[in-house]
Structure 1
Amino acid sequence: MYIPVSSRKKSEEWYVEHLGMEHGEGYLLVGKQEVFLRERLDEQVLTFRTNEWLDNGESYDMPVVCFRTSDIDGIYGHLSKLGIRIGQVIEHSWFREFDFCDPDGNKLKVWQPNE
């Protein structure tokens, strides 16, 4: 995946420190997924507007990047303690989710299927 950032070096440090990603050869790793941070030339962030996500049909800024986890409460607590801009955990019929933002305003999602 590709994530637009204002400073590749600063963002790499943030993703490694706060999300536990590992350094690869010119990219970061989260599990087996390669994450390429690329400096952007504009203010574009990773979202798009949709009205097909919220139950009430309201407009929603949908993240493009979504991480699946088996410990959503642990990740939520970890990110909260770090002072990262984070949304509420939302309960759905078959999964739980929350959104958070990196320092460049890229909105990312974490989700966990219900057991």
Structure 2
Amino acid sequence: MIKRIECAYVPVSDVERSAKWYEEVLGMKLRSAIQPGRGAIMIMGDGGWLFLQPSPNMTPLTFATTGWTEVGESFEMFPICFETDNIQKLYESLRQAGLWLEAEVRDEGTCGHQLNFKDPDGNKYQVWQQPE
């Protein structure tokens, strides 16, 4: 009955700064001009929408889980996983941006290539590329 996720909402401390970062670093497009006090709609390559919402008490979009490691240790989880066709190009863009990201792209075999990173507000994401 549920087909797909149409959009996601992300807390940010500064909508204009974040919209610029999502454009320049992740290659998303700003849908329309940002209105004072309002969020921004970012369009992904396949047409999906990411809403950047002002969050005065900014709490990053992450959570702790013990279900992601083999030994049950706590892991800071990413709630959203993006897909890309060029993970190496995205890795270089993220590296140049100078924020937290994993040291290298991981080759997960049949699960493709993966990389975890954070935006300027500490929202944690994963990006994935299908195996070759």
- TM-score range for the pair, normalised by the shorter chain length: 0.7 to 0.9
CA root-mean-square deviation: 1.7
Q: Aligned runs of 1:2-13 on 2, under 5 Å? A: 2-13=9-20
Three-state SS of the structure 2 residue aligned to 1:77 is: helix
1:49-88 → structure 2 map (5 Å cutoff): 49-88=64-103
Query: Normalising by the residue count of structure 1, what TM-score does the alignment of the two structures yield?
Result: 0.87
Give the strand-richer structure, 1 or 2: 1
Give the TM-score, by structure 2 length.
Answer: 0.77
- Counterpart Cα distance in 2 of 1:23 and 1:113: 26
Matched, 1:110 2:117: no
Aligned length: 115
Deviates more, 1:102-111 or 1:83-92: 83-92
Is the 8 Å Cα contact of residues 116 and 124 (structure 2) preserved in structure 1? yes
* Percent identity over paired residues: 37
Question: Based on CA coordinates, which of the two structures has the bigger radius of gyration?
Answer: 2
Deviation at 1:60, TM superposition (A): 0.9
Letter in 2 for 1:98: L
Q: Partner of 1:19: helix, strand, or coil?
A: coil
Any stretches of 5+ residues in structure 2 without a counterpart? 1-7, 33-39
Q: 1:100 aligns with which of 105, 112, 117?
A: 117
Deviation beyond 4 Å, 4+ runs, structure 1: none
Whether 1:27 and 2:44 are equivalent positions in the alignment is no
Contact 2:26 2:93 survives alignment (8 Å): no
| CA deviation map 1:22-60 (0-9, x unaligned) | 111451101211111111132311111111122333211
In structure 1, list runs of 5 or more residues that go unmatched: none
